[in-house]
Structure 1
Amino acid sequence: MTIPSIPAIHATALVKSFGDVRAVSGVDLTVQPGEIVAFLGPNGAGKTTTIDMMLGLTPPDGGDVKVFGLSPRAAISRGLVSAVLQTGGLLKDLTVRETLDLTASLFADTRPVAEVLDRAGITDIATRRVGLCSGGQQQRLRFAMALLSDPGLLILDEPTTGMDVEGRRAFWNAIRADADRGRTVLFATHYLDEADEYADRIVLMSRGTIVADGATAEIKNLVSGRIVRATLPDADASELSALPSVDDVSVQGDRVTLHTSDSDALARHLLTYTAARDIEITSQNLESVFLALTSEGVSA
C-alpha cells in the first residue's frame, strides 16, 4: 500500500439538496493520510449524503471534493479508495470465497484472497453461502472486499451494524491494525463508544453542517460541567432540578444522573441533606456532548 502525501479527503463548500430539503450545506473537510476519523451526527444530519459525494455516488450541487487529489471516481478506479456500506453488493448464492474471487477479478492487482479472509476474520466461513451468513458476517465480508485493492482510504458507513459485541471488538482491532500500517479510515456510526475508543478525531454534523471537529478530548470539552450519579431511593426529580447549578436530571429506579456546573457543591448537598450513596463524579461523555451540540445547534 503506497500512501500519497496529499490529503486523503479534501472537500470544500459541499452543498446537496433533494427538492426543497438541503441535506448538506457548505461542508468543508480535510482528512490527512493515516487518520482515523469518526463521522457522527443524528439521522438526517447529512452524513450519508456527504459520504456518497466523497465516493462519487452522487454529484454535489455546489463545492468540490477530491480524494488523494483526484475526483472520487478516478480515485476508486485506481484502487485508492474502498467503502463498506450498510447494504447491497452481495450475491446470496455465492460462497464467501467465491464472492471475493469475483471481486478480485475486477481489479488488475489485488491482495491475496486468503490474506483478506484472514484480516477480516472470516476464514472459517469461506465456503459458506452468503445468504446463510449473519448480518455481522456479511458486514465482515464487505470489509474483506474493500481490502482487496489495498486502498489508501477506507470509508465505512455503519460498519458494525448486525455484529455482536465480540464481533465489533474484533472488527475494530482489524481496522486499527490497518490504520497502523498507514491506511486512512473515515467511519460513520451510531455507536458513540466506538467513536470514543477508536477514532483519532471526531467530526460532528447537524442539520447539514459540521458543528464540531477535533480530537475526542477536545470535543468533550466543548460542553462544560460534569455528571454526578448516585443511588437515591424515591428521588424527586423536580426537587433535584431546582438545586443551584443543576442543568438536567434523569431518574432510573434508584439511580439518579445530574448534569451540573458545580459538582463539588452538588455532592456536598447530596451527602448532607439526602440519603444518597455511591456517588460518582465524571466529566462529560461523548453522548452528552453529542446531544448538546446536535439538539441545540451549537457550533464550534
Structure 2
Amino acid sequence: MTVLARTAEVTRRYGDVLALDRVSLDIRAGELVGLLGPNGAGKSTLINLFTGLRRPTSGTVELLGGSPQDPVMRRDIGVTPQETGLPEALRVGEVVDFVSAHFPNRSDRAELLDRFGLRDLVRRQIGGLSGGQKRRLAVALAFAGRPKMVFLDEPTTGLDVEGRRALWDGIRAFHDDGGTILLTSHYLEEIEALAQRVVVVGHGRVLADDTVPAIRDMVGVRRVTLSADTLPELPGVLGSERADGRVHLLTADPDRLVVELVRSGAPFSGLEIRPTTLEEAFLTITARENAHV
C-alpha cells in the first residue's frame, strides 16, 4: 500500500529533553492506526512533525510524498490537536464554512455536521456550546477539506459515552470510505474498538507495532477470573484485583496457576481464562520498558 506519512530515524529534542529517539514509522493508505504511550512518550511530538508544526532535530519526515512544511501537502490532511480554540461569537455553521473555504475540495456542510451529530447546532454560537459539543466540532473540522489523511490527538477527551460513540461513528465512516487516520487516545478501549494497527511508544521509542490481537498476545499474559472468598498465595501472579465479586489474576502461566489452585483445596467457581485486554498488554509493555531505563 502507498505510504502517506513516514519518519525515518527521526530524533527530536527540546533542549535537554529527548522527545523522540530515532523513530522510524510508516503510515499506509487506508490504515487506522492507534498511537499509544504514557504522557511524555512522544505521541504529540510525532503528530506535530507529521503535520509540519515542528521540524526534526535529525532524520527525515515525509507527508503525502513531500515535505510536511509544504502547504500544498498539508491541504490534503486534517488535524485535531489536544487543545483547540474556536471563536466564541461565531455560529457552528459559520466556523465550518470558514475552515472549509481554505480547501479546494471541501466537504458538504450538512453531511459533515450529520456525520458528527452536530446538525441541530448549526445556528448555535460557539460560546453557547458545552465542552463536549465544542470537542465534537473540533474533530469534525478536521474532515472539512475531504482529507486523504487525518491526525486526531486525544479526540474524545472530556466527552461522555454518548458523545464518544458519536465521534467513533464519524471516524469509522471516514475510514470505511478509504480514509487514513492516525489516532492517539488515553481510552484504550477506544483504540481497541477503532484501530486495526497499534503503535506503542515509550521514552521516545517505538516499543511495539502490530495488530491489536498481536499486541495483546506479544506480552504472553493471560487473565484468570474466578469466584472465591479467599485464595492462597499462587505462583506466577503478575497482578490481581477483585471487582464485581470476582477475582482477576494476571499470569504468564495460567496452566500452572490453575493446577496449584486445585491442589490448594481452596473453594472456587466460575473459572475463566482469556487473553489480556489491550490495556493490560499496554501496561505490561511500558512497565518492561521502564524497568530497562
Compute the TM-score of the two structures, normalised by the length of structure 1: 0.90
Aligned residues: 290
In 2, the alpha carbon distance for the partners of 1:200 and 1:251 equals 31
Moved more, 74-83 or 139-148: 74-83
> SS at 1:22's partner residue?
strand
Partner of 2:131 in structure 1? 135
Kindly provide the amino acid, as one letter, of the partner of residue 69 in structure 1: G
State whether residues 67 and 75 of structure 1, in contact with CA within 8 Å, keep that contact through their aligned partners in structure 2.
no
Partner of 1:122 in structure 2? 118
Kindly provide the amino acid, as one letter, of the partner of residue 282 in structure 2: F
Do structure 1's residue 147 and structure 2's residue 143 form an aligned pair? yes
| Structure-2 change in CA distance of 1:254 and 1:172 (3 Å) | closer
Residue correspondence of structure 1 range 52-63 to structure 2 within 5 A: 52-63=48-59
Moved more, 142-151 or 105-114: 105-114
Do structure 1's residue 14 and structure 2's residue 10 form an aligned pair? yes
Kindly provide the amino acid, as one letter, of the partner of residue 143 in structure 2: L
Partner of 1:296 in structure 2? 288
Partner of 2:273 in structure 1? 281
Do structure 1's residue 267 and structure 2's residue 258 form an aligned pair? yes
Do structure 1's residue 247 and structure 2's residue 238 form an aligned pair? yes
> SS at 2:70's partner residue?
helix
> SS at 1:88's partner residue?
coil
In 1, the alpha carbon distance for the partners of 2:143 and 2:221 equals 42
Do structure 1's residue 192 and structure 2's residue 183 form an aligned pair? no
Residue correspondence of structure 1 range 36-47 to structure 2 within 5 A: 36-47=32-43
State whether residues 135 and 161 of structure 1, in contact with CA within 8 Å, keep that contact through their aligned partners in structure 2.
no
Aligned-residue CA RMSD in angstroms? 2.0
In 2, the alpha carbon distance for the partners of 1:244 and 1:117 equals 54
Residue correspondence of structure 1 range 184-263 to structure 2 within 5 A: 184-233=180-229, 235=230, 239-240=232-233, 243-251=234-242, 254-263=245-254
Match 1:156 to one of 152, 156, 165:
152
| Structure-2 change in CA distance of 1:76 and 1:227 (3 Å) | farther
User: Which runs of no fewer than 5 residues in structure 1 stay unpaired?
Assistant: none
State whether residues 68 and 75 of structure 1, in contact with CA within 8 Å, keep that contact through their aligned partners in structure 2.
no
> SS at 1:221's partner residue?
helix
In 1, the alpha carbon distance for the partners of 2:226 and 2:270 equals 5
State whether residues 267 and 279 of structure 1, in contact with CA within 8 Å, keep that contact through their aligned partners in structure 2.
no
State whether residues 40 and 47 of structure 1, in contact with CA within 8 Å, keep that contact through their aligned partners in structure 2.
yes
Task: Encode CA deviations 1:32-86: one digit per residue, 9 max, x unaligned.
Answer: 1000000000111111111111111111101111111111132665521110122
In 2, the alpha carbon distance for the partners of 1:88 and 1:247 equals 40
State whether residues 136 and 163 of structure 2, in contact with CA within 8 Å, keep that contact through their aligned partners in structure 1.
no
In 1, the alpha carbon distance for the partners of 2:224 and 2:73 equals 52
Compute the TM-score of the two structures, normalised by the length of structure 2: 0.92
Kindly provide the amino acid, as one letter, of the partner of residue 126 in structure 1: V
Partner of 2:21 in structure 1? 25
Moved more, 71-80 or 46-55: 71-80
> SS at 2:137's partner residue?
helix
